[in-house]
Each structure stands twice: as C-alpha cells, then as structure tokens.
Structure 1
C-alpha cells in the first residue's frame, strides 16, 4: 500500500517513488533532479495507479522530448485489430505515449486492451467518448454525466486525460469578438462550445473543475489541459482566442498543483515558423513552467499528404524553444484515418524532430547514438548502421534495393566512396578504380 496520493504529492514530501527512480535512470539524471521538478510541476510523470504494464516516462524541462501517437476507432473505420497492430508498432518504434481517440461505440473494450498491453503511457479525451459511453445526444448530457466519463477512464488506468477546461465563457467571448478564418478545429473544443451555446451553461469542466481534480487525484491521473481554441491554420495563430485560453490554463494549472495533480498544457496547432519560439516562451511564462504538449505545429497549410514533414519542422523548432512533448502528425492528417504505413511515417518524423531538439538542448546522452552511427559509417559497418537507425527495416531495405558491386560501399558512390578512399589512404593503401584489364 503506497503512502502517497500522486507522484507530485510524493515529490513534495521527499518520497522517492519507483516511477521517479525509473525516469531518473532513463534520463541520465539524479533522483533529486527529477523529484525537485516533479514537486514544482515543471516535470510530470503520468502514471495511473491502475496501469500495471507502464514503464514510466518524464515529460518536462531537462528531460528528453517525448512523442505521442494518436490511435483509435472511428465510425468509418472499425478495424480493432488494425488499431492494435498500430499500437504494437508504436511501442516497438519507441513511442513514449499513445492516445486513444476512439469516438465510436463502446470504446472501453479497446481501451482496456491498450492499457493491459502497453508500456507506453496512455492518454484519452473523455469528451470524445461521452456520447457513445452515455448513449445520449449532446444536448441531453449533463455536467455530472461528463464527470462520470472522466471517472470511468481514470478507473480503467488512463495515465493522462485531455480536459478542455479553459474554454470558458470569457475565452468564448474573445473568440467570437475577434473572429477567425478557421473557427474552432479542436474536436473536443467544438463539442463543448456547441454544448455551452445550446444549453446556455458554463463549460462543465471549468465550472466543476475541483470535482474533476478530485477524480484525477484519486487515481493519480495527469491532467492535460486542452487547447480548445488552438489555431487550425497559420492565419489564426497567436490570436486573442488562443491567448485568452492560455491565460485561463495557467490559472487552472496552479489550482491542479494545489491538489497535487500533475499538469501538462496543450498548444498549437498551425503556426508560422517565426511565431513558434515566442509561443513556447509565452506558455512557460503564463503557465508557470508546466510541461508543454504541442500538435506539430504545422508550419504551412498547403501540404496535405506531407503534413508529417510540416509538423516535424515545427516540432523541432518548438522543442528547442521549450516544448516538451510532441504529438505526431501523419501524412494522412486532414485527409483520412491513418493506415499502418502512415503511422510509421508519422512516428519517425516526430522522433527525428524530438531527437534533433534533444541534441540542440545538450541533454545528457543525446548525442550518443549519433556518435555511434558516425563510428559505424566510418567503419562502413552496414549492420551496425541499420541497427542504430530510427527505422532499421527501411534503412536496410533501401540499401539492398540497388546492391553495390563494391561490398562495403553503397550504390550512390560505389568505389568512389569518400569514406573508403580516406580510410585506405590513412591505412597506407593505394587507391585504384580500374582493373588490370583497364575497366574502371
């Protein structure tokens, strides 16, 4: 029986939890480094007491940038086995987090399987599940009904939940007064906005925020304060609606910490490159250093089919400037539910962005794998290069598609490989390109 309520409660009281020990080892940091920041709220360790298969991860300043993979069942694609294959792939490829965004039918069967099998932390958006879980239309759902869904997800073992508590009446007024090119693009945010306008009531997650926190504290669930008013195109970035909601989220973060509930803040969205760094700094200031979880940001709106690239560009800039957690984007973003290949491409793109930021930030051990890759390339050790690659299968497949005639080179340069040439000269060997018969 543990003698603390949450990871934050333990850290404040100087108790070293198994999860704090785990992340300290993973991050090459001292236990004291992790514990001090968990106590302050600048690092979160999402770890539900009922998620028994979890291998804990830290999200926050001074730790490696983490990535999240979105999965789930929709009304147009009800292939549960395909979604589970995506889960296995995400885990095998090193994704630290999986969000179940299922919004069709009785989603708890898939979610329970996910929690049972996944060492990655699991997130959900209870608002997505409310209609299916309660079997009620939006207008029939009460504030207490929404809290029932939060309780159900927490009890099942979800490590963090996106709760759109910041889109209150004040934030809605700012959004409606200013206007937008794309309006609201957050699914959960749009549903809450519709519920508020149809019922005339305040956002239930804001009005009953203390009750939400009590539920999350009971199961040690981290609250991921959702950005219902995130920009859905670069023209809407950094507007009054987005910033007014961010101000609300900063206050909600402090209220959560007062109850020992860990916090992450969610951010944009779509945003031009020149605005990203300022937005990261603004979040750290307004939200008191809370870990920042961003979708992208996508740096242009004209690349459907390639948005894993637009997202990776924005994600790398954001992570170097202060973002701690990147939500992956696949090539299928804006077009359809991603298939397994889309998921793979999205994971690799996000991991590249996260890893590039880790290197730039000088995090302990961040360059180790790159240095090992450089050593393998120096030796022309192809098996070692494949093993060190973010996507070993693709690297080896590409190499073998056009096999080189010279055993240790690749088909790009062949015998004229710069590494081969330099190695031979430094080893005192003569470099020759032509055979004795004159063929070169």
Structure 2
C-alpha cells in the first residue's frame, strides 16, 4: 500500500477502493471527492482493520449522515439487546454506530460489532478506561490512557471521540465562568476530574502527536470531542465553548499535517436563533472540517420527547452546514434506550438529515420527495408506503383504519382532493355520496 490514510492517498492522487464506493453513493466525480478529502473538508472514516465496512463520506457536498449511540452500562448490560439495536440500525440505514459501552467485556462486544457492521464504528476510549484497566480514575497513567486508544484502533474502530481540546486553560475558563450545567460531556467530565485530581494537563492535548501516530497507523478518523458543549440552552455559545472550539481548530491543522482525518463535534443544547451562527463559527474556526452535532436540542423541557427537540435543531444545523447528526432518542436524560427508543431516534434523525439535504441540494433528495408527491397525486397508497422513511409504520397505520371507498383513507374518504382532481381532470364525474 502506497498510502497511510484516505487523506494521504487523496493528496497523492491515489483513488482508493473506499473513494470509488463513496463517489458512487454521493453521485460525485471521484476527482472532486479526492480534492475534498485532501483538503480535510470531507472525511471517509475507514479503519484498515474494518473489512466489513461499506464506507461513507462525511462533509461538504455529501448527504447528511446520522449516528446511532448504543452500548452497555453497569446498570444495564444485556449484550444481546445491544446487538439487536445494532442490527436494527444497520437495517434502517444508519451510516454510523457508536459503541459507548463502559462496563464488562467491552472488547468482546466491540470486536463482534466491528465484524458484523457495514456502518462505520465509533467509540469514546475514555469511557472504557476505568472498566478495562480496573483502576480508579485518579490512578490511571498517561501510558494506560494511550493503551486503551491503541486497543480500540487495533479492534477496527473507524473514528474515536477524544476530548483533546479541553486543556488546563479551558478548564480554568469553566471555573472562572460558572455554568448552569457545568460539563455534561461524560468523557469531558472524566478528563476534567483526572486533570484536577492529578494537577496535570490533559494527556491527549499534551501528547497529541502520540495520538496522531496511532490514528495515522490504522487510519482512524479523529472526532475531536466537545467537552464544553452546552448542556442546556442557558450555557450555549459561552466562553468555555468558544475557547475549546478555537483550540480544536488548531488541533485540526496539526492532525491534517499528519494525514489524519478529522471531524469536529459540536453542541449540545441551543436555542433556535443561535444555531446558524454556531455552524458558521465552527466552519470558520476549524477550517471547513466536517461538523458532527448532537442535536442541537432546542429546548430543555421535553424529557421523553427529546428525539423531537433534537430533530428540530438537527434539521436547522445541517441545513446551515453541519454534516453529521448524532441521533437522540426519547429516552435521553432518562434511561438507557430500548430497541424501540433506538428506532424512534433513528427515524427522527433521518427525517432531520433529509430535510437538510433538500436545502443543500443533495442529488436524489428532491427526487425522493417528488416521487412521493407523484404517488399521492395518483392516489397510490402502496407506492406511498414503499417510498416512506418508515414503510412498516406507514402500512400499519393505513391498514389499521381501512376506508369504505378503495383508494382513499379514512381522513377524507370520497372527499379526498387527490381523488377528486384525478377524476375531474380525466373527464370523469365526481361523486361524494
């Protein structure tokens, strides 16, 4: 192999097998794709070890992708249930799955996940450190942190969320400017605590080149985590968030110098009128790197419905430049999501992503909507159902309330405007009795 990473290959003018697949999926000339990968504006997360992967591109001029979070915890550690979620995510065409397991035999589950998944796999090694090393957080050494990262890379993980940007300067900013919800990032809070207890710099910031060496070796895309993302609308776009984002922009350029692909993670919770500005700030400060957002959740008062608050924010964020949406389920803030919660979260995120792709003018997006509209004009319910984002639910709803008049639904019956117009324009009489 004459290249180390997808970025290295693009810069050398080498078309990789992954680029060929992605270019076809995106309806994009491979030469354009190569230029975007070479510049860092598009990432193709594809660990060399992940042989079952069907690669995807994240970034400029590409379809908005979605990620599904899953994984066991000490309170809920049913591996079979998590694998069912994995299969559902793959069946529902999620492009990425993040294993956030933080308990038990994480490596066994992770390897099984990588082996079965055609979707790209992400992890947060910090979550795994305490359980894998079986040590108190304070006693973990720098070398041990990096040993966990190396193990995840060896196992075939395509991208890793690592909170490199929260250095001691940013940590001080948090202490000097108290927040309503402090640090809500799990990985970020663990690093913050480790730094405070040991009076040391963030090891992933201090020894960043060591991290880049691991990523380059396996072609792991570095997802630069936002430890200071706002955990409530009150904290959005504050000093700590922007301080960290500036640092992430600097770290992005250093990663690119190592031919390491980068994504930037973003908010969080944020009111509607701040979203567009935040997308522009990220793209400017981080040099056009792909932007991966959690939500944003546009209000804090809807536990049980946060897949909706997230989809609202995600649609706006992606239409304004975000490239990758992390789904949120109805269980957010309340419990580990069930299989049904995961499905609800995926559907909500896919709706948001497609809504944004219509704005972006992504090839095929408008054509999908137009095909649905044509089916409605033709009063073709079978076609409508097959084109829907969740055909199973659409068919279940339609068949649960059958109309007396075939070719209509129980909302309008014979007064269906599509039926009326189809008949009258065909020169037929219209009867509604």
- Superposed displacement of residue 175, structure 1: 1.2
Query: What CA distance in whole angstroms lies between the structure 2 residues aligned with 1:405 and 1:77?
Result: 47
Query: What CA distance in whole angstroms lies between the structure 1 residues aligned with 2:156 and 2:380?
Result: 44
2:197 is matched with: 198
1:294 is matched with: 293
2:223 is matched with: 224
Q: Secondary structure at the match of 1:432?
A: coil
- Superposed displacement of residue 33, structure 1: 1.0
Query: What CA distance in whole angstroms lies between the structure 2 residues aligned with 1:27 and 1:334?
Result: 35
Q: Secondary structure at the match of 1:367?
A: helix
1:378 is matched with: 377
Query: What CA distance in whole angstroms lies between the structure 1 residues aligned with 2:271 and 2:204?
Result: 31
Query: What CA distance in whole angstroms lies between the structure 1 residues aligned with 2:340 and 2:234?
Result: 31
Query: What CA distance in whole angstroms lies between the structure 2 residues aligned with 1:59 and 1:411?
Result: 42
Query: What CA distance in whole angstroms lies between the structure 1 residues aligned with 2:118 and 2:369?
Result: 25
- Superposed displacement of residue 364, structure 1: 1.6
Give the unaligned 5+ runs of structure 2.
Answer: none
1:273-319, CA deviations, whole angstroms, 9 ceiling, x for partnerless residues? 00000000000010000000000000000000000000000001100
2:145 is matched with: 146
Q: TM-score, length-normalised on structure 1?
A: 0.98
2:429 is matched with: 430
1:269 is matched with: 268
Q: TM-score, length-normalised on structure 2?
A: 0.99
2:359 is matched with: 360
Query: What CA distance in whole angstroms lies between the structure 2 residues aligned with 1:23 and 1:184?
Result: 36
- Corresponding residue pairs, total: 433
1:242 is matched with: 241
- Superposed displacement of residue 433, structure 1: 2.1
Question: Which aligned pairs between 1:116-135 and structure 2 lie closer than 5 A?
Answer: 116-135=115-134
Query: What CA distance in whole angstroms lies between the structure 1 residues aligned with 2:143 and 2:311?
Result: 39
Query: What CA distance in whole angstroms lies between the structure 1 residues aligned with 2:331 and 2:174?
Result: 28
Query: What CA distance in whole angstroms lies between the structure 2 residues aligned with 1:183 and 1:22?
Result: 42
2:72 is matched with: 73
Taking only aligned residues, the RMSD between alpha carbons, in angstroms, comes to 0.6
Query: What CA distance in whole angstroms lies between the structure 1 residues aligned with 2:255 and 2:82?
Result: 33
2:388 is matched with: 389
Query: What CA distance in whole angstroms lies between the structure 1 residues aligned with 2:373 and 2:412?
Result: 18
Query: What CA distance in whole angstroms lies between the structure 2 residues aligned with 1:380 and 1:431?
Result: 15
1:438 is matched with: none
Question: Which aligned pairs between 1:10-21 and structure 2 lie closer than 5 A?
Answer: 10-21=9-20
1:198-253, CA deviations, whole angstroms, 9 ceiling, x for partnerless residues? 00010010011100000010000000000001000000000000000000000000
1:278 is matched with: 277
1:257 is matched with: 256
Query: What CA distance in whole angstroms lies between the structure 2 residues aligned with 1:356 and 1:398?
Result: 23
Give the unaligned 5+ runs of structure 1.
Answer: 435-440
1:107-165, CA deviations, whole angstroms, 9 ceiling, x for partnerless residues? 01111111011100000000000011111110110011000000000000000000100
1:437 is matched with: none
1:331 is matched with: 330
- Please say which of residues 294-303 and 73-82 is displaced more in the overlay: 73-82
Query: What CA distance in whole angstroms lies between the structure 2 residues aligned with 1:337 and 1:41?
Result: 34
1:21-74, CA deviations, whole angstroms, 9 ceiling, x for partnerless residues? 111111111001110010000000000000011000000011010000000001
Q: Secondary structure at the match of 2:365?
A: coil
2:317 is matched with: 318
The answer to whether residue 188 in structure 2 is matched with residue 183 in structure 1 is no
Q: Secondary structure at the match of 1:174?
A: helix
Query: What CA distance in whole angstroms lies between the structure 2 residues aligned with 1:87 and 1:281?
Result: 33
